[in-house]
Amino acid sequence: MASLPFSATSFHSTFICFNYKARNPNLFFLKKGSSFTFSRRKFIIKSVASDQRQDLKEEGQITEEASLDTFVPDSASIASSIKYHSEFTPSFAPDHFELPKAFKATAESVRDSLIINWNATYAYYEKINVKQAYYLSMEYLQGRALLNAIGNLELTGAYAEALKKLGHNLEDVAREEPDAALGNGGLGRLASCFLDSLATLNYPAWGYGLRYKYGLFKQYITKDGQEEVAENWLEMGNPWEIVRNDVSYPVKFYGEVISGPEGIKEWVGGEDITAVAYDVPIPGYKTKTTINLRLWSTKVAPEKFDLSAFNAGDHAKAYSAMNNAEKICYILYPGDESLEGKTLRLKQQYTLCSASLQDIIARYERRSGEFLNWEIFPEKVAVQMNDTHPTLCIPELIRILIDVKGLSWEQAWNITQRTVAYTNHTVLPEALEKWSLELMEKLLPRHVEIIKMIDEELVQTIIDEYGTEDLDLLQEKLKQMRILDNIELPESVVEMIAKPEKSSVEAIESTEEDDVSDEETEPTAEEDELEEEEIEEKNEVPPIIEPDPKLPKLVRMANLCVAGGYAVNGVAEIHSEIVKNEVFNDFYEMWPEKFQNKTNGVTPRRWIRFCNPDLSKIITKWTGSEDWVVNTEKLLTLRKFADNEDLQSEWREAKQRNKVKVASFLREKTGYIVNPDAMFDVQVKRIHEYKRQLLNIMGIVYRYKKMKEMSHEERKASFAPRVCIFGGKAFATYVQAKRIVKFITDVGATVNHDPEIGDLLKVVFVPDYNVSVAEMLIPGSELSQHISTAGMEASGTSNMKFAMNGCILIGTLDGANVEIRQEVGEDNFFLFGAEAHEIAGLRKERAEGKFVPDPRFEKVKSYVRSGVFGPYNYEELMGSLEGNEGYGRADYFLVGKDFPSYIECQDKVDEAYRDQKRWTKMSILNTAGSYKFSSDRTIHEYARDIWRIDPVVLP
């Protein structure tokens, strides 16, 4: 279908529908060779949203009375659709039908089917004016969409057959799709799983994000380690998106705030850009519900192009406004070491918030019609902030309600506090965003005014809660809870705290006249001096209002989220407890009702059903139906068959087929040849010190060193063969993380070419890890490492994907590991390491010089320093694990502390793997116990407890 000149929510829109559904079997024919032409074309103009019926008659297939609801395309009609798109929505030369062109045409034919349900979904939502949830996220790590979409539409077989007729294989065509570069790690993947579950469960919802031109970066692995280049995912266009040039909103930066009549504020001047909507339909599984992901791109009006400057030869000036606007959506997480980088990140966050809220409000007004009532706005709208990146939607919603819609401060503040909710994803202090007040005042002057008002409201609430009698207590509460950090208290608060209470003399004067002596007694000099000191003491401005001029003035975004929202949730049980008891303990004591837990989940459609068809068939056979795909509790049925030899045999065969695929993939991507009979040991996730890829590779070095000290026979007896697979990106400016990547690749280069070791140990770093790579690796994995320092991982979701696919985890009691271990059984999880409640004490012990490192750990560091892994100087990396204090020192993430426990646990892994019957049973029980970790369960909980929305099934 060509680009569509209608909104997804248009209720009586029409569009051109090309009648390509094989009405005439001779409509298309293939030439000899790879090209083809068309004998004739037919066009029909129909109204879809108003009529919901389409005249798509085919002989023997669709009758006059049939509707879009009952029409199921077969392979012939799909082939015609693909051929149509290859000519009428061309992105490639017409004389060839090779894989890139086949993918584009296939995707566009799938999009036609999505659009039908997509329009029906939102037409119905508009008609019944249902309450809707809006999910705001800076990341959506979607992965490839083709196989997921046709799987949800139940058209996989038909598309495979159609493409076979056209000379291609479905899997080959699907591999042509680049991963959408809209995310980096678990935050974005979670958001995408949530959209899938929302659509599958028929919840009225919408996602909002930014359309990054280059995403994060494409990662290459060279002899120097990680190298970054711009991602090119949009180079050939994105067939899933539809630009909505009729849906755009103004977004302002800089300028000034002026006061108009009756105290009305107006934000004027500054830099104006336009946010334009790009829509991506998100289909549910076996349902007509198709929701929307709306991504914003940025531009300026054509008149902003300085034509006179261009003609004068000053091209940089001519393009300045355009470049400033467009670069907002170039890169995910631009480096923020510089002021320019910080400014760009803040612009990104505000663009997402402003455009999305303007859109949400426009939809609310349109649905309300003449019955517009702002007080019931929270009864129709729920806004979920995925981490602190969308925090600015709190002051932005207030700004729109006050400055544009004319509401009072009290009304706007009350509405906002009933509309917005916040998901916390981290306990790392550096990830709880703090913005420079000076920068924010320049870039968003009106929002700073509003944030100061929110801060004043919060301070007043704190004082109401704790009083002013104990100023030390009050000082501590304000220090922890205020939104504005290192900034003087509002004058109204200072006056209230400093206001003297009635003196004893005033108290006496206020008593009954008959209780007062007729004779006034003059106070003595000593009494007079004492009274003056007491009054001065009561009038003294407390030290809590004095900012430190040496420290920066900051806006604490997480505190703003908690103060401005009605719900705060963590993403795993242990994480939510840390949020309540440590990160936001003061807020929790004041507002316990705000805090909830919502343990993360992943979609079983993408992460078992579609990426692991061999295992899916086995699960379906042994559970009795495919119900497990939407009701994962059915996976529990596998428990009673875990010892069944037939199931175990089928399970091992499926795992082995997947491992063979992984081995082929690794050879293609890295050149390394690995033995698929070895254990596949995988750690794939963002490279970060707290995730402790360093602990993993140090354990591998220890293993390699031990092997080198043994004879061939001793090695075979002591170690199970392993292929240790790493993947993940280190942020471009995160030097220590990049050192870890370099170290892993250097160890691999040495170990993999050591003839003494052979297939007993291989170390492979997979470049440019993304969703598609995960879909390949996870089904073939046998051991997966989730070894973060306890108390530092909010949840993790890759651990859930691995468990679902029958992979056994080795890990700490951190994040969702705790709950996974509970569900799969303690005997089916390899546990090691310090626990969360011990971490602070262990760091204190280290700082006091009491830590005694394990001799095995010291030998590994010396081995690395010996140069066995090449000439690179690893002193900085090894040095970070030494010393008792200092930045970049003292082993903050406790690699050395947990090392002994880790390598001893790895011995247990080897022992278990040698007993394949035992290992297979553990694998089956991991899949069975993963039932809880479906994003469907998580979304049901969000819908019930936070958003208060109900499923809406299309008629």
CA 402 vs CA 273, 373, 398, 475, 491: distances in Å: 22, 14, 6, 32, 23
User: Is position 801 annotated as part of the catalytic site?
Assistant: yes
Torsion on CA atoms 222, 224, 229, 231, rounded to nearest 10 = 50
> CA 782, CA 927: separation in Å to the nearest integer?
12
Superfamily per CATH, domain 642-927: Glycogen Phosphorylase B; (3.40.50.2000)
Q: pLDDT band for 22, please (50, 70, 90 cuts).
A: very low
In the predicted model, what is the mean pLDDT of residues 708-735?
Answer: 96
Q: State the catalytic residue, choosing from 425, 446, 655, 659.
A: 425
Q: State the catalytic residue, choosing from 477, 691, 703, 921.
A: 691
In the predicted model, what is the mean pLDDT of residues 634-657?
Answer: 98
What is the structure's pLDDT at 106? 96
Beta-ladder partners of 810: 785, 830
What is the structure's pLDDT at 534? 53
User: Is position 797 annotated as part of the catalytic site?
Assistant: yes
Instruction: Match 């991982």 to its residue by tokens.
Output: 793
User: Max Cα separation, the chain?
Assistant: 124
Q: Is there a contact between 574 and 818 (Cβ–Cβ < 8 Å)? A: yes
> CA 9, CA 6: separation in Å to the nearest integer?
8
In the predicted model, what is the mean pLDDT of residues 448-464?
Answer: 96
User: Is position 511 annotated as part of the catalytic site?
Assistant: no
Summarize pLDDT for 904-932 with one digit per residue, the tens: 999 999 999 999 999 999 999 999 999 99
Residue 326 falls in which region: left (phi positive, over 0), alpha (psi -120 to 50) or beta: alpha
Q: State the catalytic residue, choosing from 144, 168, 363, 801.
A: 801
What is the structure's pLDDT at 521? 52
In the predicted model, what is the mean pLDDT of residues 577-602?
Answer: 97
What is the structure's pLDDT at 532? 53
What is the structure's pLDDT at 29? 34
Instruction: Match 């899916």 to its residue by tokens.
Output: 616
In the predicted model, what is the mean pLDDT of residues 643-661?
Answer: 98
Q: How does the average pLDDT of the chain come out, rounded?
A: 89
Per-residue buried b or exposed e for 2-28, using 16+ beta carbons within 10 Å of the residue's own CB: eebebbbbbeebebebbbbbbbeeebb
Q: pLDDT band for 127, please (50, 70, 90 cuts).
A: very high
User: Is position 380 annotated as part of the catalytic site?
Assistant: no
What is the structure's pLDDT at 95? 76
In the predicted model, what is the mean pLDDT of residues 849-862?
Answer: 97
Q: State the catalytic residue, choosing from 797, 920, 927, 938.
A: 797
% of the chain surpassing 70 pLDDT: 88
CA-based radius of gyration for the chain: 31
CA 68 vs CA 23, 53, 158, 257, 602: distances in Å: 15, 6, 17, 53, 31
Q: Where are the domains of the chain?
A: 642-927
Q: pLDDT band for 88, please (50, 70, 90 cuts).
A: confident
Q: How many C-beta atoms surround the C-beta of residue 494 within 10 A?
A: 15
Summarize pLDDT for 252-307 with one digit per residue, the tens: 999 999 998 888 899 999 999 999 999 999 999 999 999 999 999 999 988 888 88
CA angle centred on 744, ends 739 and 748, rounded to 5° = 145
Per-residue buried b or exposed e for 324-363, using 16+ beta carbons within 10 Å of the residue's own CB: bbbebbbbbbbeeeeeeebbbbbbbbbbbbbbbbbbbbeb
Is 718 exposed, middle or buried, given 0-12, 13-18 or 19+ CB atoms closer than 10 A? middle
**DSSP character for 331?**
B
φ, ψ for residue 82 (rounded to 5)?
A: -60, -45
| The 3-state secondary structure of 517-576, one letter per residue | CCCCCCCCHHHHHHHHHHHHHHHCCCHHHCCCCCCCCEEEHHHHHHHHCCEEEECCHHHH
User: Is position 691 annotated as part of the catalytic site?
Assistant: yes
What is the structure's pLDDT at 6? 34
Q: State the catalytic residue, choosing from 634, 686, 692, 738.
A: 686
- Where is average pLDDT lowest: 120-134, 206-220, 485-499, 600-614? 485-499
CA 436 vs CA 422, 439, 453, 554: distances in Å: 21, 5, 17, 5
Residue 506 has pLDDT above 90, yes or no: no
Q: What's the predicted TM-score (pTM) here?
A: 0.89
Residue 34 has pLDDT above 70, yes or no: no
What is the structure's pLDDT at 796? 95
In the predicted model, what is the mean pLDDT of residues 877-894?
Answer: 94
Angle between helices 445-466 and 409-417 (to 10 degrees): 80
Q: pLDDT band for 155, please (50, 70, 90 cuts).
A: very high
Q: Is there a contact between 146 and 177 (Cβ–Cβ < 8 Å)? A: yes
Summarize pLDDT for 670-680 with one digit per residue, the tens: 999 999 999 99
What is the structure's pLDDT at 48? 30
> CA 901, CA 811: separation in Å to the nearest integer?
11
State the pairing for strand pair 484-485/554-556: antiparallel
State the pairing for strand pair 242-253/271-283: antiparallel
Q: pLDDT band for 60, please (50, 70, 90 cuts).
A: very low
Which is more confident, 523 or 211? 211
DSSP result, 273-312: EEEEEEEEEEEPTTSS-EEEEEEEEEE--GGGS-HHHHHT
What is the structure's pLDDT at 363? 96
User: Is position 739 annotated as part of the catalytic site?
Assistant: no
Q: Is there a contact between 889 and 882 (Cβ–Cβ < 8 Å)? A: yes
Q: pLDDT band for 105, please (50, 70, 90 cuts).
A: very high
